[in-house]
Structure 1
């Protein structure tokens, strides 16, 4: 058993989180994560309306009696969704854990706190982690440059970002980005985190709703097969390397603005990738840790394997390292 202040604060068995993923964080995956003793998040904006989110929460409760949460991601959008309505749907459904990503958590924090909801805020810098702690969130997820989706604009990898943030955190902190196995879990704990968040690794499990061809491509890909887009727009995103993402990079490099890439990067096209398995239909998020993924297990197999291997690493591999103290010589 790997008990940390994160597992204690959020009432879960293992210090492993499946964070919000657009088009992916659905009931079947989230319930499987919860049943495995980890913490899964339904992605609120995957659901077309707040009423649909309420139904997805009910569906998840039919599949598990263990804790799970809802992710509410606040990012620049062509057509901003009704965030307040999604927030109220979460509260009215009795969900007790929320992951906020993107925007300032203070906008929604008081509403969630009044309803007894614990808030985990995902951020990409020490500055934002400190601000989240100051406004009163219950935990922070610190997202390194290796991650899928939006790694921020500072380009700081987890090996630096995790301990830099841990020095200042008085609340539980989990590490995101570049983590796909037990080695990543143990390393994150050693760096000062209280658990880990994984997106790409859970994307590539049997309960994940994405098309099998996408999962097989993740297994086939290496850590080199991602591209950074939206760099010129100050909204960097890490996505899979394909003809569409390469085209977007070239347009940006040539000075093209958002209007020049709007159609290429539409969410509707990205959704077709996940649902139809057309790997060239649009951009799709995946992290550099895909280079560490070589199978498509069930969620239970993945979590059990990670915990068992982490315990073995801590008690045996690290326990075998001899620390020799050499005194001064005459």
Structure 2
């Protein structure tokens, strides 16, 4: 029932993806998601060097024989990482799926395609999705405004963005942002998606390599407990509502620029949140769907539950509603 263009193209059992998350997409989590039948993804730049990424890929292979991918996020930087070397590490390691986020994937596509790698590109607008399709990616992951991290500057929620993209695209598309359970999966598919990408939901699982205090905070939070930072900088990011995020918002409201918040938003501080469980050490990404999360399951239990409940929804409640509507 849940076989889709995405599962067929990317060779996975279920149309459920654990997207790349900085400091979180490590071997244990990616392998657990893939072993459960979804698509687990290692975050390439979480590893400090290309060689470390090779070793992380090898560790993942020791934990699962199912397909998994590697995320490569390309962002403007004063001192950019050696992207070509990370890309070569992915190719040399025999990875078959790559998720690219950030800049246009065209620079990397020839190398990845020549190596027989399927490319999934993450984007936040129909325009960028169509551009990714034009340059030759195999699928796109489109982020609605509800998502953690960078939702773009158009503020378009998934309920509108997903069908708008589905109407235009010819390649498989998965939906991201605001999805944490079977209802989100079924809704996304009804809107035209071929699967879903979940970050926050997989952040709050037993295998997620972050402090338990962060997971407990996600369970306790509601959909209202996020902040949008960098709005004035046209680089919007959705993060958890904490003391640091509120301070950043206030500085922006007062006319401050990036230099005024640079130390507050440093990646090392966010990493400290995940590693030490100090919830106010820095900013950390989380989506509005945290309001739908009420437990900390294993990835196997979570994926099995979502698939089971999605099939029950499709064959049961929704089918019954259609029959009832026709009878009327």
Corresponding position: 1:40 with 2:40: yes
Secondary structure of 1:22's match? coil
Aligned partner of 2:206 in structure 1 is 206
Cα drift, residue 78 of structure 1:
4.8
Aligned partner of 1:51 in structure 2 is 51
Aligned partner of 1:237 in structure 2 is 237
Structure 1 residue runs without a partner (length 5+): none
Aligned partner of 1:292 in structure 2 is 292
Aligned partner of 2:314 in structure 1 is 314
Distance 1:105 1:211 in 2: 33
Decide which moves more: 42-51 or 315-324: 315-324
Cα drift, residue 324 of structure 1:
3.1
Secondary structure of 2:108's match? helix
Distance 2:110 2:201 in 1: 32
Cα drift, residue 77 of structure 1:
3.3
Aligned partner of 1:110 in structure 2 is 110
Secondary structure of 1:250's match? helix
Distance 1:229 1:109 in 2: 32
Cα drift, residue 323 of structure 1:
2.3
Distance 2:233 2:307 in 1: 40
Distance 2:67 2:299 in 1: 16
Indicate the RMSD between aligned Cα atoms, in angstroms: 0.9
Distance 2:245 2:83 in 1: 28
Structure-1-length-normalised TM-score: 0.98
Distance 1:207 1:62 in 2: 15
Task: List aligned pairs for 1:67-146, cutoff 5 A.
Answer: 67-146=67-146
Cα drift, residue 319 of structure 1:
1.1
Decide which moves more: 315-324 or 21-30: 315-324
Aligned partner of 1:323 in structure 2 is 325
Aligned partner of 2:250 in structure 1 is 250
Distance 1:92 1:236 in 2: 35
Cα drift, residue 216 of structure 1:
0.1
Structure-2-length-normalised TM-score: 0.98
Encode CA deviations 1:71-98: one digit per residue, 9 max, x unaligned: 0011233532111111111011110100
Aligned partner of 1:283 in structure 2 is 283
Encode CA deviations 1:9-64: one digit per residue, 9 max, x unaligned: 00000000000000000000000001000001100000000000000000000000
Cα drift, residue 100 of structure 1:
0.2
Encode CA deviations 1:111-167: one digit per residue, 9 max, x unaligned: 100111000000000000000001110000010000000000000000000000000
